[in-house]
Amino acid sequence: MNKLTIPLLATLTALALTSGVALAGSEDVVVEDAWARASIGVNRPGAAYMTIRNTGDEAVTLTGISTQLAMMPEIHESKTNAEGVSSMAPAGEITIAPGEAAELAPGGLHAMLMQLQEPMTEGDSFPLTLSFSDGGYVAVEVPILGIAARGPDG
């Protein structure tokens, strides 16, 4: 990271922590109810979940995520076919129509945090940055809940 990136990310993280919700530079994207489960060490990937809402008049496209917690953060999607076989793969870009939301939730789209750099410990939190096709981004602080959590309320 260059010398300008670190202070910028720190400022955006501080804004997200004090506002309760995080807004993209265009102020058209709102991230709500972010949460993650505690991990079992660092050998298995972690996951984070949230609602990404487009409050604007034009579609927005999520192109990627980043965090210092994981070397390979990606948006993945879990699916179950007609035979009941589940699979998971990178989701690629996600376009969110005006007035709509993308739900990152267990069993569907989620932020997959591979190659964890430290354990995800209940009670801690970590910064996650979402990048959009227009060059905008949003930083959100993700609280880490218990290993058996089923939603943002535990």
Q: Does the pLDDT at position 27 exceed 80?
A: no
C-alpha dihedral sign at 75, 81, 86, 87: negative
Q: Which CATH class is domain 5-145?
A: mainly beta
The per-residue pLDDT for 5 is 47
Distance, in Å, from the CA atom of 107 to the CA atom of 128, rounded to the nearest integer, reads: 20
Q: Is residue 150 within 8 Å of residue 68, measured between CB atoms?
A: no
The per-residue pLDDT for 150 is 87
Q: Which residues contact 117 (CB under 8 A, 6 or more apart)?
A: 42, 68, 69, 70, 71
Summarised one tens digit per residue, pLDDT across range 28-81 is 999 999 999 999 999 999 999 999 999 999 999 999 999 999 999 999 999 999
What number is the average pLDDT over the span 89-115?
A: 95
pTM of the model: 0.81
Domain coordinates of the chain in residue numbers?
5-145
